[in-house]
Amino acid sequence: MKNSQQGFTYPLTLCILLLFLIFFTMHIEQLLTERKMAVDTTTILKQEYYFLSSVKKVESLYRIQGSMPAKGTFFYVNGTMDYKAESPSGYIQIVDFTLVLYTRKPIAGYGYFDTRSKNLIKWVEAK
């Protein structure tokens, strides 16, 4: 009781409480950062998957039909992929892909197709 009357216990308790709050705040901040990174990673992986599957679908349409479809749309669970084929120059044909996810702004990519082998030879994602 003698220490309590002279004011020793209150500052000690306050320091311990502040120390606990600082560590608690750091852990909360780390948790929020990890959650945001997980959401961003999921979105990026969806974008990559949608681009890859769209390129494969266009490639298979090209092989089956014998000519590149002028334009089209693929619908996915979280967005849509629009594509538009330009006229071929030489043996290379460029296809513009535009992905619109429901939660993000549109993302563009360009696929270069070889008209002889009917395969994708180069991929460029526009920034």
pLDDT by position in tens, the chain (length 127) = 455 556 677 888 899 999 999 999 999 999 999 999 999 999 999 999 999 999 999 999 988 988 888 899 999 999 999 999 998 888 899 999 999 988 778 999 999 999 888 889 999 988 7
**Hey, how many other C-beta atoms are within 10 angstroms of the C-beta on 19?**
10
pLDDT value at residue 90: 86
Contact 111, 94 (CB under 8 A): yes
Cα distance between residue 43 and residue 26, in whole Å? 26
Residue type, 5: Q
- Mapped onto helix, strand or coil, the DSSP state of residue 123 is strand
Distances from the Cα of 49 to the Cα of 31, 35, 66, 122, angstroms? 27, 21, 25, 17
pLDDT value at residue 67: 82
CA 19 to chain centre: 38
Cα distance between residue 96 and residue 73, in whole Å? 12
The 8-class DSSP code of residue 88 comes to P
Instruction: Tell me the Ramachandran region of residue 92: left when phi exceeds 0, alpha when psi lies from -120 to 50, beta otherwise.
Output: beta
pLDDT value at residue 28: 98
CA 23 to chain centre: 32
pLDDT value at residue 5: 59
